[in-house]
Structure 1
């Protein structure tokens, strides 16, 4: 079974939220290798007329959402390099594109053609939001594997102990740490049935040992503390995670699903 990172969905999907998916596969990442961040696009409204246009768009979208019965709160609007197309962030949901008249919204990738490489228009815009989110996370809420020696890179990985590709990535932890990569796990159970196992890991006094046991298939004692697991899951939905592992740089750039240590280091150094 294969999975795509972004899907074009109907507007009504927003009302129901995004569904859970299974592990990302290595085959999916081959589809991503030709995609790079778009050309510089700050997303900032540089003129008064542009700010007014964004305010009108927000009001129009809010009215359309209300009419359609879509429970969605707009948190931010950014311009894109595509004329009359905006990037709209929604609370508790993945961002969408919207036309300037507010009549059409869609989710998915907008790709710019014309160069040897394809350019994902929204990637740099989403990365900026991701960077702020990752920087706001508390270290005590994460499962961190420190780099050995100098820390050259920090990555954030949405993971699930039931995911085979997460297991495969975890097997390379010593190699990743030895190459100066600090790995920060964010809990992202792929279904309600996997939440107890992740909560048990996050509740354990030795979270590292508990994760090793759980990802190897061991059953852990039931959680007996408050954990950030459900908050982590919602965070993943907000930025577009739809499978595990989902690997991001500290700058918020999506690097891929499962990657070998050499391929991961190559992408980090690009």
Structure 2
């Protein structure tokens, strides 16, 4: 991190030309037409501009000639400004998720929402189902079966068997907690391949990945206490 702080300080000192963020964005799009530049805005560092490129963030000077890839920290406030921005630009529009392609589980009044991309053969997904989900209440969980075949070659078959079971939610719970697949595996039209394409389009490259009600993504295993904290924070934000 120290190297990056020194680099961006020297970078800012060397770039003495200032410009409106809109002008910088226009210049960048002209200079790099093949790059998907979605937004440019000023940073707290004079002469340094934040460039959002799809799901990534970089920093540039007014000319657009120089780029820095890394994280920008506010040391006084002890905040990672880049991480905050990445959270913002990587939020998912949950209203666009195809919920009919997910296994729906309602706990309590189901008022809170979680969207989970999960692989049946993923150990951390199994741990999430055993340790975290049973402790949550008043939540509706939409589980998108998302087998990572390069890691778990048999996961897609299992995902399809679970989806085609008479009671999908029970079949999912049984397998994740005890490794038991339905006694008779049946074939049916299923959304597993669509889920794989959906997850890739959302930039999901690991499981489990949880999408909160506000669209923010939480990768990896999350303890119940942390997930409950995030759910409560989302409720507070909605209430505000």
> What is the total number of aligned residue pairs between the two structures?
202
Q: What residue in structure 1 maps to residue 126 of structure 2?
A: 167
Which structure is larger by alpha-carbon Rg, 1 or 2? 2
1:191 paired to 2:191 = no
Q: What residue in structure 1 maps to residue 24 of structure 2?
A: 53
SS of the counterpart of 1:218?
Answer: coil
Q: What residue in structure 1 maps to residue 56 of structure 2?
A: 96
Q: What residue in structure 2 maps to residue 136 of structure 1?
A: 96
1:87 to 52, 62, 81: 52
Q: What residue in structure 1 maps to residue 75 of structure 2?
A: 114
Cα offset, 1:231, TM superposition: 3.5
Supply the distance in 2 between the matched residues of 1:242 and 1:52 (Cα, whole angstroms). Answer: 35
SS of the counterpart of 1:121?
Answer: helix
| Gapped regions of structure 1 (runs ≥ 5) | 1-48, 66-73, 90-94
Q: What residue in structure 2 maps to residue 14 of structure 1?
A: none
1:157 paired to 2:128 = no
Larger RCO (CA within 8 A; separation ≥ 6): 1
Cα offset, 1:243, TM superposition: 2.2
Supply the distance in 1 between the matched residues of 2:210 and 2:90 (Cα, whole angstroms). Answer: 15
The answer to whether the 8 Å contact 1:123/1:253 transfers is no
Q: TM-score, normalised by structure 1?
A: 0.61
1:248 paired to 2:211 = yes
Change (3 A) 1:59 1:139: same
Supply the distance in 1 between the matched residues of 2:86 and 2:231 (Cα, whole angstroms). Answer: 18
CA displacement, residues 169-206 of structure 1 (integer Å, 9 cap, x when unaligned): 11243321x2x222221222222422232233334442
Change (3 A) 1:174 1:120: same
- RMSD over aligned CA atoms reads 3.2
Supply the distance in 1 between the matched residues of 2:193 and 2:22 (Cα, whole angstroms). Answer: 35
The answer to whether the 8 Å contact 1:199/1:223 transfers is yes
Q: TM-score, normalised by structure 2?
A: 0.67
Supply the distance in 2 between the matched residues of 1:155 and 1:256 (Cα, whole angstroms). Answer: 13
Q: What residue in structure 2 maps to residue 212 of structure 1?
A: 173
Change (3 A) 1:104 1:126: same
1:181 paired to 2:145 = no
2:107 to 147, 157, 160: 147
Supply the distance in 2 between the matched residues of 1:104 and 1:222 (Cα, whole angstroms). Answer: 54
Supply the distance in 2 between the matched residues of 1:256 and 1:117 (Cα, whole angstroms). Answer: 23
SS of the counterpart of 2:91?
Answer: helix
